[in-house]
Amino acid sequence: MNKPKFLILAGDGINCENETKLALVNANSDAQIVHINELLENPLMLRAVQGLALPGGFSFGDELGSGQVLSLKIKFKLKDHFEDFIYRGGAVIGICNGFQVLLKLGLLPDFKKERTISLDHNISGKFINKWVTLNKHPATICKWTTLLKDQLINLPIRHGEGRIVLKKNDETVVYNTLLKNGQIVFQYNENVNGAYENIAGICDPTGLILGLMPHPEAYLYEGLNHIHQKDFFKKGKGQLIFDSIVQYLKNS
């Protein structure tokens, strides 16, 4: 494959689509921003692409809950086309609000099983906007992180409802399943928002669907990291997440 093609959702409260497009273009993919209504009206667009990005923001103003309206629109208007896209190996990233959408769609943690993970309000009850240190889990099977050789990565978070919680009374079973399958991708190095075992991002059992609360599209260049600003245009670690999936799709 020469240049994998990606769609990036935009509109109705979604933001960060331009940064996400830049990351995918930098990774040498063919990336197109599309308004959610355009995709709903032309679902065959999914047949022409290999990847889909759901950026962060406040889709539909978080009415009915974070990511709820967008997930319902996708579920009821794109169901067959979306399932076809997933079954033929489409790559998906959901960032922050996009992660919330993926969970409510049931794409994570496993498209073929019951939903066992959700996102709740931060334990502090406050919106958090800061850079955090993440630990890439050494056993992850995620195809979006293969080029991240360093175990630690700094990324910003911007959320009020980003605390990962596991199915009540089954937390240990769900967590051990994630561990066994290599589905835990990132964990906070400290208790940032009260997430179970400090989980910040997970993938599905194929490693092609990634959901995370931190924003990799905000760290495409070293100069954007408030800690390391020596060489502004040196590639940032956030960019490596997008480089990883594009490289994987090219070689598939």
The residue among 215, 217, 221, 136 whose CA lies nearest residue 182 is 136
Output the pLDDT for position 228: 64
169 φ/ψ sector (left φ>0, alpha ψ -120 to 50, else beta): left
- Does residue 64 surpass a pLDDT of 50? no
Q: What is the mean pLDDT of residues 97-113?
A: 90
CA 137 to chain centre: 16
Instruction: Say which of 17, 19, 161, 217 is annotated catalytic.
Output: 217
For residue 206, what are the contacts with CB-CB under 8 A and spacing of at least 6? 89, 143
Residue 232 pLDDT class (50, 70, 90 cuts): confident
The verdict on whether 203 is a catalytic residue reads: no
Q: What is the CATH number of the domain that holds 221?
A: 3.40.50.880
Q: What is the mean pLDDT of residues 43-61?
A: 85
The verdict on whether 217 is a catalytic residue reads: yes
Residue 58 pLDDT class (50, 70, 90 cuts): low
**Contacts made by residues 84-87, CB under 8 angstroms, sequence distance 24+:** 84/46, 84/47, 85/46, 85/47, 85/49, 85/52, 86/111, 86/209
CA distance 156 to 207: 23
Task: Supply φ then ψ for residue 100, to 5 degrees.
Answer: -60, -40
Residue 4 pLDDT class (50, 70, 90 cuts): very high
Residue of 12 and 118 predicted with greater confidence:
118
* Most confident option among 54-58, 150-154, 244-248: 244-248
CA 228 to chain centre: 24
Output the pLDDT for position 59: 52
The C-alpha angle 74, 194, 129, rounded to 5 degrees, equals 70
Residue-averaged pLDDT of the chain = 91
Output the pLDDT for position 23: 98
The verdict on whether 142 is a catalytic residue reads: no
Residue of 58 and 88 predicted with greater confidence:
88
Domain count, the chain: 1
- Does residue 195 surpass a pLDDT of 80? yes
Q: Give one DSSP letter per residue of 114-157, joined into a string.
A: ---EEEE--TTSS-EEEEEEEEE-TT---TTSTT--SSEEEEEE
- Does residue 110 surpass a pLDDT of 70? yes
Output the pLDDT for position 192: 95
Tell me what percent of the residues of the chain surpass a pLDDT of 90.
Answer: 75
- Does residue 145 surpass a pLDDT of 50? yes
**Domain carrying residue 110:** 5-251
pTM passes above 0.85: yes
Instruction: Say which of 16, 96, 142, 203 is annotated catalytic.
Output: 96
